[in-house]
Each structure stands twice: as C-alpha cells, then as structure tokens.
Chains A and B, each alone.
Chain A
Amino acid sequence: MRRVFVLSFALAFTVAASSSLLAARSPNKKEEGTTTVASNTNADTMRALGEQRFRANCGRCHAAPQKFPPRAMSTVLRHMRVRATITGEDMRLVLFYTTQ
C-alpha cells in the first residue's frame, strides 16, 4: 500500500518536473510563436484558427455558446483548459474566436 503511494507520488512528481523542464527549456520559442501568431495574422485568420480549435477541443462535447464578455469568457476558458486539458495557445485562439 505504502509502495503504491510512494510510486504514484514519484511518478506524478517526475511527470510534473520533466514537463516543467521541457516547458522551461523553450519558453522564448513559445512566446515568439504566440507573438508571431498575434502579429502576423489578421483577425480573420485568428478567428478561423480559433474556430478550428474550438471544433477540435470544445465541439466534442457541446455546441458553440453565444458570445460572452471577454473577461467572463476568459474565466470559462481557464476552467475548460483544466477540464478539457486544452493547451495555452488553443485557449488564446478559442478566446479570440468566442469574443471577437
């Protein structure tokens, strides 16, 4: 019983640490990528990308809701990021699609 606990904790800790290390290794790349998406694409492209990500992530369970105020939608998407395990970039694109 104790071994299972220790093993599961060790496994969980390793996953968290390794993924964190992975993320820390290329933060600038991600930032650059996000900035590039934001600066080089126009609103239509971002909306189209956002719709695509919405259909892929959110559409598996429910239809698109009406447009809510951006700050309320931002909270909903943080909740969905946890619940539906969507990535940060997908969250930003879906936020753009659902609010703009």
Chain B
Amino acid sequence: MRFVFTNVGGRRWRRKILLRLVCALLLQIFAPARMHSQSADAERPVPILSGNAGFLTSVTAGQTLLDTQLNPVLLVPVGDRWLIESRGEFEGEFQRAPSGSFAGPVNKHLDYLQADYIANSYVTITAGRFLTPFGIFNERLYPEWIRTLQPDPLILPIGTASSDGAMLRGGFAVNSHANVNYAAYVSATSIGVNGVESERQVGGRAGMFFPGPRLEVGASWQKALQDDRKNAFGFHLAWQTRALPLSVHSEFARANQGSGYWIEGAYRLSQINAWNRVMRRTEVVGRMQQFFNGAIGPDEAASLGLPTANTREADFGVNYFLKDGLKAVGSYGRQLSSAGNLNQWAVGIVYRFLIPLGRGDSR
C-alpha cells in the first residue's frame, strides 16, 4: 500500500517536471515573437489575392484538349509572425465530343490551406493542408507562370500529393558559401471529403545551396504509415549559371509506384544582339525525362497519373514574356513508350495577377 502511494507520488512528480519542461520549451519557441512586435508601418503586410490564370490548347496523339486553369492564392498575414495561406485549383478540361462541340469536366480542389508561424530565423511551424515537400517541382515550380514547360514531368505524381498535418521548415547559413534548408512533416489520413484527401505519412527534405556557383542540391524522403508502408526517396538539383542566362533544374524519384528523372534547361536569349527587344523577352527550353515502371499495375499507375509503361520523353518549348506577369507559351514533345509513341503540342497564354485586399501603399 505504502509502495503504491510512493509510486503514484513519483508519477505525479515526473508529470509535473515533464509539464514544466514542455512549458519552458514552448515558451522558448514562441518567445522570440515578442522581439519584433513593432514592424514599420510602411511595410506592414496587407492581405492579398494572387495566383494565375491560363488557357492552353494541347494536341496529344491527335486528340485536342482545351485546358483552362485558375489558381487563386489567398495570403492573409496576421500580426508579425503569422500567415494564413491557401491555393485552390479550378481546371476545365474540354475535349471534342462526337457531336462536334467541346465538353468535359471542371475539376476543383484545394492544394493547400495552412497556417504558418514564423517562430524565428531558423524555424517556421506549419499546420493544416500543405504541399508535400518532396523534390522541388511540386512546391516551387508548379504554378503555370513559373514553370518553363507546361506539361508536367512524368514523375510528378510520386510523393507529391498534398498532406494534412504539421510541418517544420526553415533555412540557415552554414557560412558565407553555403546555406541549408530543410522541411520535416507528419501527415494524417484524410478520406471522405472530396478534394482534401491525404495519406498517413512522415517525411522530409533537406537541401544545400551554394551562392557562389548558384547551385542547390538536395534529397527528399517519405515513408507511408499505412497500407504497404513503403519508402520513397528523391534527389533534386537547381543551378543558375553565372556566365549565361541559363537555368537548370533536375529531379530523380524512386518509389513503389515507379522511378524516373527529368532534367530541364531554360535559356533566356538576352545575350543575342540582333532584335534585342524581342530576344530578351524570349526563352527557349528543353527537357529530357524517363520513367520506369514500378511494382504496381497499369490501372493503378493510370489512376495516379503515372505512365502505364516504361517511357522516354523529350520536350522543347519557347516562352515569350509579353509583359510582366503575362507570357505566351508553346511546346512540342515526343513520347516513346512500349504502350505507343505519340506527339504532344501545346500553345497558350498564362497570366499572373496580384490584388492587394487593402491599402497596398503606406499612405
């Protein structure tokens, strides 16, 4: 009896200590918020509505598709440290019906709806629905106004479905020659609500950026905590050469569903002297990619948006920047696959908008 009483007392004592420790750590995390409580009025952020709209016409293996996209991004800053951000996707895919007119579905879903707390210079805490940081395309290059070729890379569906959960991310300088960035996340299963599904998984991404050669290399990892509990991993590279206006991006991904890579180079023709006004607004792009089948069947692969057979593809494109935020795009791709070879043509126009929801200036 006496022993039991002592044990309960010990437990309580341990619980108290643990509670105090957790409180102390939480205070450490959130305390720096007070340090910068006064931001300059001129730079006090206002909510904004941004995003892009695009209209693309593509012809894949002789089949014409009219693709209309609207991706509104809402950013609501709260105080000095918080940001609530969200992006939706509305996409109409219209194909020629036997009657002759174009018809098709309008898909809509929520890409992310997250609350960010900038704890300090090194850590941001994110909760909600967020873009899964696997590789770089999904998080950084996906918007139509940013991507240099409109067709998605073949390996994009690997590891990039949005997550519902929490994430820690940030970056810091190791020294003047190297910066490190990282993201670590936990996601819960979310089913039943159309458009916000997610899987139970953990993962992370780490990258190293060298400002001298403007080179970033990094790796991603993801482990599913449901079904077959498979691992996925990937590597990425981003390089902007100093001598030429050339930007190179590349990714490799390997998972149960398949593996593959893509490498892409975008060259701005600003160094060409002839027709300089036109050339400096013109960008030529090339992408090479390959996909290898995984351990899943063709039907499952198709449902995930992956090729159903081993595939190679080469794409070439031209982008012309009409004015800031508005560009005309065009591309041609040749896909070689055991399921059949095909040509892909795409032309279109993409517009990026930004509307302050309040006074944008300081007056």
Contacts and interface: CB of A to CB of B under 8 A. Distances in A.
B202 A8 contact: yes
B119 interface: yes
Most buried by B among A5, A27, A79, A85: A85
Given A1-B225, A65-B324, A19 B120 contact: yes
27 contacts: A4-B223, A12-B186, A16-B119, A16-B125, A20-B32, A22-B122, A24-B31, A30-B121, A55-B240, A59-B214, A59-B240, A60-B238, A61-B238, A62-B146, A66-B324, A68-B360, A71-B42, A71-B46, A71-B359, A71-B361, A75-B83, A78-B118, A79-B75, A82-B124, A82-B169, A86-B171, A89-B121
B39 to A, nearest CB: 8
A8 B120 CA distance: 21
Contacts of A70: 42-43, 360-362
A13 to B, nearest CB: 7
Interface residues of A, number: 49
B356 interface: yes
B123 interface: yes
Contacts of A8: 184, 186, 202
Most buried by A among B77, B116, B145, B360: B360
Contacts of A48: none
B44 interface: yes
B25 interface: yes
Given A61-B146, A76-B75, A85 B184 contact: no
B184 A15 contact: yes
Contacts of B168: 12, 15-16
Interface string B220-248: 00010100000000000010100000010
A87 B27 CA distance: 22
Interface string A19-61: 1111110010011000000000000000000000001100111
Interface in B164-217: 166, 168-173, 181-184, 186, 202, 209, 211, 214, 216
Chain A interface SS verdict (over half): helix
B173 A87 contact: yes
B47 A20 contact: no
A12 B47 CA distance: 30
Nearest to A28: B35
B216 A85 contact: no
Given A83-B140, A84-B140, A78 B45 contact: yes
A78 B325 CA distance: 20
B98 to A, nearest CB: 42
Closest 6 A-B residue pairs measured CB to CB?
A: A69-B360, A85-B171, A23-B120, A75-B45, A19-B122, A74-B45
B77 A78 contact: yes
B46 to A, nearest CB: 5
B174 to A, nearest CB: 12
Interface in B60-76: 75
Contact of B77 (A4, A19, A61, A75): A75
Contact of B184 (A11, A69, A76, A86): A11
A71 B363 CA distance: 10
Contacts of B44: 71, 74
A12 B145 CA distance: 34
Contacts of B171: 85-87
Contact of A27 (B32, B124, B359, B362): B32
A85 B356 CA distance: 23
A55 to B, nearest CB: 7
B356 to A, nearest CB: 4
B250 interface: no
Contacts of A93: none
A59 to B, nearest CB: 6
A95 B126 contact: no
B28 interface: yes
Contacts of B184: 8, 11-12, 15
Contact of A23 (B121, B139, B240, B358): B121
A59 B209 CA distance: 13
Contacts of A16: 29, 119, 123, 125, 168
Nearest to A81: B118
B48 interface: yes
